Amino acid sequence: MEDYIVSARKYRPMTFDSVVGQASLTTTLKNAVKSGKLAHAYLFCGPRGVGKTTCARIFAKAINCFNPTADGEACGECESCRAFNEQRSYNIFELDAASNNSVEQIKSLMEQTRIPPQVGKYKVFIIDEVHMLSTAAFNAFLKTLEEPPKHVIFILATTEKHKILPTILSRCQIYDFERMTVENTIAHLKMVAQKEGITYEEEALAVIAEKADGGMRDALSIFDQTASFCQGNITYAKVIEDLNELDADNYFRIIDLALENKVSDIMLLLNSVIEKGFDGGNLINGLASHVRNVLMAKDEQTVKLLEVSERQKTQYKEQAKKCPAKFLYQALKIMNQCDLAYRQSSNKRLLVELTLIQVAQLTQPEDADGAGRSPKQLKILFRLLTQKPRNKAVQQVAAPGENIQGAAANAASSNAAYPQGTADNANAAPQEGAAATNSGSAQTAPVTPAGAQTPASAASPSPMGRPLKLSGLGVTFQSLKKKEERTAQKEVEVTNKDENEEFSQDMLELQWLSMCNRMPKKMIGLASRMKNVTLRIIAFPEIEIVADNQLLLDEINNIKGRIRATLALALHNGNIQITLRLAAPEEIKKRLTKKEVFDELAKQKEFAAFVEAFGLQMV
């Protein structure tokens, strides 16, 4: 079996013509070789993985070639070219400035510049990651860089041009490398796939190219990873599964549903996305990028700005025809506000849900019947969630027992007691709330005059009082917050009731640990605690789960149905039954730390001999 070489090394360009996406730069370098007008110092700068070091090596090989071709390429047959290809050339030196950045090392390099080349015309020094040199090393390098010997050429490469001293920049010819476009990356990946005998879908390669973010080396690394996962047949479904990417069809579907004002369907789609382990904030960011692409697709002049596959480009054009420009602009504004407030929000899922509801109401008339009858009132609640209260008056607006209209009116009257300018940000919500209450379809709560007494229920809303209603949505504030809990408690049906294979205690514990490790990110805390429960088979196939405390027992009981269905599939036994109980005081064992576990094992002679033989110690 031959040694495996990753694609980024195996298909590294060896000539200027094979370099991808840098046509203008390679043409300039070839013309310099043809004319013999070579500078003494070059600086190649640009993002990672775009060909800086590769072009430096090809250039160094070409200027030392004895018989360069008519278009400035190295012949590949002379002694200098063969020495370079076999990595035994004494005329080309590569230095990693990240690990050789001291003054002494630069001085040692300067000493080597005095020795003329034994074979060839020039000594070429390629210094990679040159921005890592210290200031003292840069200063030691200055004089030689400005007036090097005639037989010396420096090629510097960096990803961070702004970190290089201006005195260095002024002594070099600067070449700025471009990021790889999605089209160029896809074309190169197709070439590699054909040479490797790998079948592919163009949409799958487009996902890889977008994930690489303009770096060809990154794209080839991801290509190798997905090719291994897909076993030589790279499909779109397998790629998004391997890279844990959200299917772009979800974004198209959300916008289609929003145009039809189908709030309930969007909520179900959001729930399914979150249950797959995707973060709500990432969904909003991805949807914002999608809306931006739809906006670009509305004009033929801006379609070229879409870095997607041809199939998706067609999808964007079709959806752009259905979306009014005003809808797209307002949707982008709403999602940008959600992105800014996401980190500070204490109820992130509710914020995402309200954002999507607002987007779904953009094309709905104010006086429409059905779900989302009053978009203005929903804007008030969204603003309350995204703003941080600065006084007690604003806190009253968000009281969970009040109606939105009455809360806005009460907040407006309360703010009258404060001097002008003390609550500028807070006043924005009451003002919009007042506007909402003036609409013909909304019923306003009376504003209490100063000094007048108000009923106890209106003046001091109780947390246990009537739930806050989202006008016209048919749902309550509390029902949105409890939605996730109700979903978790829902019984899951066992799909393999016909299977009845036997399993051991070890198999049970292994599948339990595997299940805990696969639980979604939102349940990571519960998964960690579930690893510490006691499992035992009491009467096959009945399993007993013993928890150390009542809180953990209740949490496991909420997802008991899902646990049973998961274990039934993993252990191939659809008759599994689960019982839960609280551990007796004498059953609760002390949880040992890693150090204590190590000390216990060290008491065993075999383990102690192993530790002593290898000189191990607990850190």
CATH fit for domain 182-242, picks 1.10.1040.10, 1.10.8.60, 3.40.50.2000, 3.30.300.30: 1.10.8.60
pLDDT in tens, 415-452: 433 334 433 443 344 444 333 334 444 343 444 444 44
- The Cα 522–Cα 85 span in angstroms is 53
With a pLDDT cut of 90, the percent of the chain lying above it is: 18
- The Cα 394–Cα 388 span in angstroms is 9
- Boundaries of every domain in the chain: 7-176, 182-242, 364-413+428-436+467-487, 505-587, 589-619
Asked whether residue 480 carries a pLDDT value surpassing 80, the answer given is: no
Structure-block tokens of residue 212: 């690489």
Cα dihedral value 387, 391, 392, 396, nearest 10: -30
pLDDT in tens, 332-391: 999 998 988 888 888 888 999 999 999 998 888 764 444 444 555 555 555 555 554 444
| DSSP type of residue 120 | S
pLDDT of residue 255: 93
Q: What is the CATH number of domain 7-176?
A: 3.40.50.300
- pTM (two decimals): 0.54
Q: Which CATH superfamily is domain 505-587 in?
A: DnaA, N-terminal domain (3.30.300.180)
> Which residue has 């383990």 as its token pair?
607
- Which carries the bigger pLDDT value, residue 351 or residue 478? 351
Cα dihedral value 334, 336, 342, 348, nearest 10: 30
With a pLDDT cut of 70, the percent of the chain lying above it is: 78
* pLDDT band at residue 253 using 50, 70 and 90 as cut-offs: very high
* pLDDT band at residue 619 using 50, 70 and 90 as cut-offs: low
Q: Which of 430, 447, 439, 448 is nearest to 471 (CA)?
A: 439
pLDDT in tens, 140-199: 888 888 888 888 999 999 999 898 888 889 889 999 998 888 888 888 999 999 988 899
* pLDDT band at residue 307 using 50, 70 and 90 as cut-offs: confident
- The Cα 534–Cα 277 span in angstroms is 27
- Which carries the bigger pLDDT value, residue 68 or residue 478? 68
pLDDT of residue 355: 92
